[in-house]
Structure 1
C-alpha cells in the first residue's frame, strides 16, 4: 500500500503538474471538502527561500477577499523538509493556449486578453506591488464558473515599489542585475535600472506582440558575451518600437472603439479563440 502524503492535515498531495520560478507544483485534494487544489513545494534548506515571501504577497493582494484574478492562499507552512503553499487550482496558462492555437492569436482575442491582463496588473500596482516577471506562463485561466477570468500568478520576484501608507516611491537606481524573464523584460531592466510599474506594463506589451506575431523580433539573437546579448536585445526592442512591429496592434485598437469596458468579465461572451476548438476554460 502506497503512503499517502498530507499537508497541514487537510490536503492530500497528488501528481506533479508543473514548476514555478522557485518550486514544484502538485495537484492536491482538500480531504474535508473534496476540492482540488494546487500545492507548491520548496526545499526548506534552499539557499534563497522564496515561498514564504510569495505567500505574503498573495495575502496582501487578497486582503478583504472577493478579488478577481488573484488565486486564494489556503495554507502556508513547513512540512518536514519543505516549505508548502496551498492555493486555488487554476486552468491552463496563456502560453499553453497560445501553443494550442498554433502559436498565433487573432487581434480580437489578443485585445480581450490585454484588457484583463492590464486590469490585473493595475490592481497589483494599486496594492503598492510590482510583479517583475511578466510572461505568458504567469497568466492562467480560471476553472469552472471562473473559466473566462485571467489570473496573474507567481509572485516569487515581486517587490513593493512604494510605501503602502505614505505612497513614497522607491528611489531611482542603476546597476541592478536583471530580474525576470529576459525575453519580456523592459529596455530599462536590461540597462540595469530599478524596476517600477512601467516595466510590468512594457512586459505586457511584449507579450501581446508575441501573441500577434507568433514570436518576438529579438528571439534567437546570437552574441558572444552577456554584454553583447543585452545590447543586441535593446537594439532589437528599440528598432521595432520605431518600426512596424506594433502597427498592426495600434491599428487594431483604433478600429475597435466599440469594445465595451471589461467585456471578458461579463460572462460567457468573454474570451473566445474562434480559429480553433478550445478547452471549455476559454468559453
Structure 2
C-alpha cells in the first residue's frame, strides 16, 4: 500500500515527484499500483479545467486512435481530479532535443539517418490513421527507456548518487520489441484529422490560417497561412534533419520588433534559401536536400511516397559506407556507458514536448554532481509540496461543488474519475459536418492576442492559436482534432 499522504489518481495511479511544468500545467512521475511486482512507471499530466487551450482530452483521443501503433505511447486513463484534467501515459526517456544537447549539439550523419528512418515511419503511421501532427520538433520525439544504460553506471562513491541511481533504476519503460532506442512520438495536442476516416475525403485547401506549430521547424506554407496537410509534417521533418546535421539552422536567432514580424522573417528566409545551400559544402549528403525539395513540391492533397523518402536515407547509409547497426551517438556518452541521468542533466520531460519554462528551477541543479545531496532533498520537498497542493486543490474543489448545485448541470463537479468509455475515438462523430465546420472556422479565425503578447521570442516554442473556450462548449459529440 502507498503511504497515507500519497496522492492517488484514477483509483490506482500513485503520484510521484514532479518532473516538469509549463503553460499547459504540470507533469509527474507515477506508478500503476495494480501491478505491485513490476511497479509500472507512468507519466501523469495535469492541466487546469478552465484552461483557455485545453489539450489533454484531444491527446487522449489521438492516443486512442493510434492505440498499439509502434512508437506511440499508451494512454491508460483520462479523467478529472478536482479542478484538473488528468492524462496518464507511458513514462518514456529523454527527448531527441535532450540527446542532441548531450552529444554537443550535433548528430553524426549515421545517427541522423537512423533517426530519420524512424521519424518518417512514425509520421507515416499517423498519416495512415487520418491525422496530421502539425508540431514536428525534436522535443516531441522520445527514446523508449528511462534508466541507466548499464549496471556499472550505478556505482558511485557518494550515497546520494547511489540513491539517485536506485530511483532511476525503478522507472524503466522498455518497448515491446526490446529496443531501447525505439523512437516515440508524444504530445498530440495540436494534431488534426486531414480527411474523413470513412470516406477518405480530404479537407479543403484554405488560406489566411493562424500559425500552429514551432516557427523554427514549420513548413513554408504554414508561415504564409496555408492549410496544413501531410506534406507540411514531412517538410518540418526535413528541417529537423538539417538541424541535427548542422547544429543550427540559418533562420535561428533572427531579430524583429515583435513575434509576428519575426515569424514572417523566418518564413521568408526559408523560402529564399535553396536546400542545396544547407549542405555545408558537401559535409551533408545531398539526399537531404533532395528530400526537402521533394516534399516541398508535393500538392496539398497529394499522398507522399514514404518509401521513396526512406529510400533516400538508405542511399546515404550505402554511399557513405555507414553501418546500419542501430548504434546512436548517445550510446558513446560517458565512456561508452550511454546517457546517464546521474551524469547528464535531467531529461527534459516538461510536458512531453512542451517547452521548459524559463523560471523552472526544479531540475536546474542536476547538472552538478557535487550538489546531489541538496538536489535529492529539494526534489523530495518539492514532491511533498506538489502532492499537498494537489490535495488542497481537490479538497477546495469538492467543498465548492457542495455549495454550487446550480452549476452541476453544466460543469462536472465531482473529483471521481471519468471512464474511458465516455469518450469515443475521434472518427466516431466525424459526420457531424455542419457543427464541425462552424467550430473549425471559428477556431482558425480566432486570434490569441494575449498569447501573442506573452509568447516567448524563442523560435523553438510551439505556437498554438486555438479557442479553447469554444472547444469546451461544443466538445460533446464532436471530433476534437478534426475541428482545428
Q: Is TM-score (shorter-chain normalized) higher than 0.5?
A: yes
Q: Aligned runs of 1:74-223 on 2, under 5 Å?
A: 74-143=76-145, 144=174, 145-223=178-256
Cα distance 1:132–1:182, how it changes in 2: closer, same or farther (>3 A)?
same
Specify the SS of the correspondent of 2:184. strand
Which of the numbers 318, 330, 335 marks the counterpart of 1:257?
A: 318
Distance 1:191 1:59, change over 3 A: same
Structure 2: state its 5+ residue gaps.
Answer: 146-173, 289-312, 342-484
RMSD across aligned C-alpha pairs, in angstroms? 2.2
Residues 133-176 of structure 1: CA deviation (Å, up to 9, x unaligned)? 00000000001334120000000000000000111000001011
- SS for the counterpart of 1:180 is strand
Distance 1:75 1:122 in 2: 26
Query: What TM-score do you get using the length of structure 2 for normalisation?
Result: 0.53
Based on CA coordinates, which of the two structures has the bigger radius of gyration?
2
> 2: CA distance between counterparts of 1:156 and 1:18?
17
TM-score (norm 1): 0.88
What is the Cα deviation at residue 255 of structure 1? Answer: 4.1
Cα distance, 1:2 vs structure 2: 7.2
When the two structures are aligned, how many residues end up with a matched partner?
270
Q: Which residue of 2 aligns with 1:266?
A: none
2:62 corresponding residue in structure 1: 57
SS at match of 1:257: helix
Does the 8 Å CA contact 1:22/1:156 hold for their aligned counterparts? no
Per the alignment, residue 32 of structure 1 pairs with: 34
Contact 2:285 2:316 (8 Å CA) reproduced: no
User: Higher relative CO (CA 8 A, sep ≥ 6), structure 1 or 2?
Assistant: 2
Say which structure is richer in strand: 1
Q: Is the 8 A contact 2:113 2:317 kept in 1?
A: no
Distance in 1 separating the partners of 2:264 and 2:41:
46
Structure 1 pair 255/76, CA: closer, same or farther in 2 (3 Å)? Answer: closer
In 2 relative to 1, CA 90–242 (structure 1 residues): closer, same or farther, beyond 3 Å?
Answer: closer
